[in-house]
């Protein structure tokens, strides 16, 4: 039985019997933080991110028989999440609600997920400000550039994984990443 590259667990499609839901629950516990972090960073709305994260795993569970192991389970989950974000952003019936409810994410929530490496209070505050500036700059990117940027730098995915998640060719991913980096650097340069 082939093992998933990132989870160390067998592919979803190979689970059978009573252990299936238990094994899937383990996968959810393992991958939920990453999926949630990506959706939250993409949409900057905690409630929507929580809902879409749950929807991601419901859809994955419903489609578990279709998973063939062509990519890792982590990549499969992220592909579902990226599609949910894209669908959410393009949904015209939710535009009014997004505008009215778009209060943004408390940057402390995102900053708190950064590993603490025994920083002083001043260093931690500086890092928090840098993170806020990067999030603000990333928020101004096009949807594709923002997705590629977040998958690369928040989720630490390589270009082939990003291509698999987004359905883009690797060269297209490189182009979007290059343009996103240029834009973020330019915006960060303006704030200095």
pLDDT of residue 175 exceeding 50, the answer is yes
The answer for residues whose C-beta is within 8 angstroms of residue 105's C-beta and 6 or more apart is: 40, 44, 45, 46, 135
pLDDT digits (tens, 9 = 90+) for 111-140: 554 444 566 777 777 777 877 888 888 888
pLDDT digits (tens, 9 = 90+) for 43-56: 888 999 999 999 99
Q: What is the model's pLDDT at position 71? A: 87
pLDDT digits (tens, 9 = 90+) for 56-99: 999 999 998 888 888 899 999 999 999 999 888 776 444 544 44
pLDDT digits (tens, 9 = 90+) for 2-19: 334 444 444 444 444 445
pLDDT of residue 1 exceeding 60, the answer is no
pLDDT of residue 147 exceeding 60, the answer is yes
- The mean pLDDT of 145-166, rounded to a whole number, is 90
Write down the mean pLDDT value for the chain: 78
Work out the pLDDT band at 30, boundaries 50, 70, 90. very high
Please, what are the domains in the chain?
A: 1-106 (1.10.1740.10), 119-192 (1.10.10.10)
Return the axis-axis angle of helices 19-43 and 73-90, rounded to nearest 10°.
50
DSSP letter, residue 118: S
Q: What is the model's pLDDT at position 137? A: 86
Residue 50 token pair: 């929580």
pLDDT of residue 29 exceeding 50, the answer is yes
Distance CA 37, CA 42 (A): 8
Residue by residue, DSSP assigns 72-92 as -HHHHHHHHHHHHHHHHHH-G
Distance CA 20, CA 150 (A): 31
Q: What is the pTM of this model?
A: 0.61
Distance CA 177, CA 83 (A): 18
Closest CA to 187 of 148, 147, 130: 130
Distance CA 79, CA 101 (A): 26
Share of the chain above pLDDT 90, in %: 42
């Amino acid at each position: 039985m082939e093992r998933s590259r990132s989870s160390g667990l067998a592919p979803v499609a190979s689970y059978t019997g009573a252990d299936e839901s238990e094994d899937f629950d383990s996968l959810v516990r393992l991958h939920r933080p990453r999926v949630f972090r990506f959706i939250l960073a993409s949409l900057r709305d905690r409630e929507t991110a929580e809902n879409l994260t749950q929807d991601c795993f419901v859809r994955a569970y419903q489609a578990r028989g279709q998973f063939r192991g062509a990519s890792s389970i982590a990549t499969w989950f992220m592909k579902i999440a990226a599609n949910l974000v894209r669908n959410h952003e393009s949904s015209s019936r939710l535009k009014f609600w997004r505008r009215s409810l778009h209060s943004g994410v408390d940057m402390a929530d995102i900053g708190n997920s950064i590993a603490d490496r025994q920083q002083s209070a001043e260093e931690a505050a500086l890092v928090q400000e840098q993170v806020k500036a990067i999030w603000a700059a990333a928020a101004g990117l096009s949807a594709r550039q923002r997705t590629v940027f977040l998958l690369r730098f928040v989720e630490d995915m390589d270009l082939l994984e990003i291509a698999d998640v987004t359905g883009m060719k690797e060269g297209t991913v490189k182009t979007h990443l290059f343009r996103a980096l240029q834009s973020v650097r330019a915006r960060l340069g303006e704030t200095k």
